[in-house]
Amino acid sequence: DRDTDKKRIEELLEENMVLEIAQKQSMNESAHLGWELEQLSKSTDLADTRKSFVFELNECASSRILKLEKDNQSLQNTIQELRDASLTSRESSLKFVELEKENQQLSKKIEKLQNQIEKEKQSNQDLETLSEELIKDKEQLQVIMETLKADKDRQVKN
């Protein structure tokens, strides 16, 4: 039973490492998205709107990642406590079941985060497209205004 428990602990540690890697990748991806949004916002009149959106996006992703890291640390502490306390086989099994459930919940949270990041990427692309369209419309309106002004000036002279 102890060998089985030790193997299970090792498996859970490996799962935690995989979750940590996924969290770090999610953080990197979120940071990269934030950077891309900042670069886009510098080139348009919508800079203030985009900066606040980027800021909110980064804050939201960071808080989710911090929460997941906290949960992960809690699981690691629990595993260490189980090792140190050398609980009976039955108690260990119950703790492992709880840890498995928590790991599954963390996996689901990470998957949700990844889905949200994909949605946010799409939203960012949509915002970029809209921004480009607005810039084109603005340029067209400026040309029209200049043409109308020139026509008006000609009419006034005649």
> Long-range contact list for 21-24, CB < 8 A, 24+ apart?
22/110, 22/114, 23/65, 23/68, 23/69, 23/72, 23/110
Provide the pLDDT for residue 72: 72
Q: Does a structural domain hold residue 44?
A: yes
Is residue 129 domain-resident? no
| Domain annotation covers residue 88 | yes
pLDDT in the model for residue 90: 67
Amino acid (one-letter) located at 97: V
Let me know if residue 130 belongs to a domain. no
Identify the burial level of 62 via C-beta atoms within 10 angstroms of its C-beta, where 0-12 means exposed, 13-18 middle and 19 or more buried. Answer: middle
Q: Is 59 within 8 Å of 111 (Cβ atoms)? A: no
What gap in Å lies between CA 105 and CA 19, rounded to an integer?
11
Kindly state the tokens that stand for 16: 């935690």
How many domains does the structure of the chain reveal?
1
- Joined together, the tokens standing for residue 12 give 């859970």
Domain-embedded: residue 54: yes
pTM, to two decimals: 0.39
CB burial readout 121-146, b (16+ within 10 A) else e: eeebeebbeebeeeeeeeeeeeeeee
Tokens of 152: 């008006």
Tell me, yes or no, whether 157 lies in a domain: no
Query: Is 142 part of any domain?
Result: no
pLDDT of residue 36: 79
Lowest mean pLDDT among 85-89, 123-127, 145-149: 85-89
Distance in angstroms (rounded) separating the CA atoms of residues 52 and 78: 39
- Residues 17-48 have pLDDT tens digits of 999 999 999 899 888 988 877 777 676 545 55
CA dihedral for 89, 93, 96, 102, sign (positive or negative): negative
Q: What is the pLDDT of residue 158?
A: 74
Segments forming the whole domain that contains residue 60: 1-124
| Tokens found for residue 137 | 């419309």
| The one-letter amino acid at 31 | A
Contact present, 52 and 41 (Cβ < 8 Å): no
Report yes or no on 75 lying in a domain. yes
